[in-house]
């Protein structure tokens, strides 16, 4: 059993792992965004990949999501913890808070959403994230006294631009709690391969719906992501040893 970590902004540092090595893979879906870093974290086998490439040069639309997820599965990952920056659509979700996502809304437009190009497969997606991983994260965040939210609805937009004010209000009306550009299609692809997947969302801003807040910028997001990364690293060190090969819906059959 191996644990995959998808991240960036300090969460893809090889120094996180003991006895690490870098592997370059070719998949049926092309090359992953970066070399995969394999090693041990808290005594467990871990594989890390930088979602947007080593230097964060790949735009959200062009992230090779299928290659990234396939490569993690190919290297034996049974569970994936995916760190992501997000904008908050709720007053109570403050910049710096962690959100353990339990639902998503897909508002992307140009992405390949499935591995199944040559046959019709209908993957159940009522509960898209791994409930067991989420429970572990919630309890560990409580133990560490990190400000966090036990659940939340993520709306994933295409990007690379940020939302208009009208869109931000619309997403709030839809019931979304946070917004990003990366959860979809990662979570879908992981489910198709029977891999447990849980998002660790780091709130960096209030998008643009909230009066009196400075407009969100890429520089703001990256700076706050780096500030939050230390807490996520601490969370991972505590959570990863507790992960088990439990029975859950993530490894259910596709129809």
How far does CA 112 lie from the centroid of its chain?
17
Closest by CA position to 96, among listed 203, 208, 221? 203
C-beta separation of 89 from 179 below 8 A: yes
Residue pair 50/56 in contact by the 8 Å Cβ criterion: yes
Catalytic one among 12, 97, 177, 205?
A: 205
User: Does the active-site annotation cover 12?
Assistant: no
211 among known catalytic residues: no
Q: Tell me the two tokens of residue 207.
A: 């998008």
Are 38 and 25 in contact by the 8 Å Cβ rule? The answer is: no
| 67 three-class SS | helix
Q: Which of 97, 102, 177, 207 is catalytic?
A: 207
Looking at residue 58, the DSSP 8-state letter turns out to be: S
Query: 128 to each of 131, 184, 188, how far by Cα in Å?
Result: 9, 11, 7
Active site residues: 205, 207
């Amino acid at each position: 059993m191996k644990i995959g970590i998808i991240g960036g902004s300090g969460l893809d540092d090889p120094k996180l792992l003991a006895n690490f090595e870098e592997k370059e893979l070719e998949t049926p879906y092309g090359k992953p965004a970066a070399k995969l870093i394999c090693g041990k974290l808290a005594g467990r086998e871990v594989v890390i990949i930088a979602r947007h490439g080593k230097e964060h040069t790949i735009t959200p639309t062009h992230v090779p999501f299928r290659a990234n997820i396939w490569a993690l599965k190919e290297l034996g990952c049974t569970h994936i913890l995916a760190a992501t920056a997000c904008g908050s659509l709720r007053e109570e979700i403050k910049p710096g808070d962690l959100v353990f996502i339990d639902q998503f809304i897909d508002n992307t437009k140009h992405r390949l959403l499935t591995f199944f190009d040559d046959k019709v497969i209908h993957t159940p997606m009522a509960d898209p994230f791994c409930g067991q991983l989420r429970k572990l994260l919630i309890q560990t965040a409580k133990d560490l006294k990190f400000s966090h939210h036990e659940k939340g609805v993520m709306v994933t937009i295409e990007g690379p631009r940020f939302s208009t004010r009208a869109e931000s209000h619309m997403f709030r009306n839809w019931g979304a709690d946070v917004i990003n550009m990366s959860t979809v299609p990662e979570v879908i692809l992981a489910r198709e391969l029977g891999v447990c997947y849980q998002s660790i969302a780091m709130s960096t801003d209030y998008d643009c719906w909230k009066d009196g807040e400075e407009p969100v910028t890429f520089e703001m997001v990256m700076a706050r992501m780096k500030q939050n990364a230390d807490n996520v690293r601490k969370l991972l060190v505590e959570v990863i040893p507790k992960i088990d090969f439990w029975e859950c819906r993530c490894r259910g059959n596709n129809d």
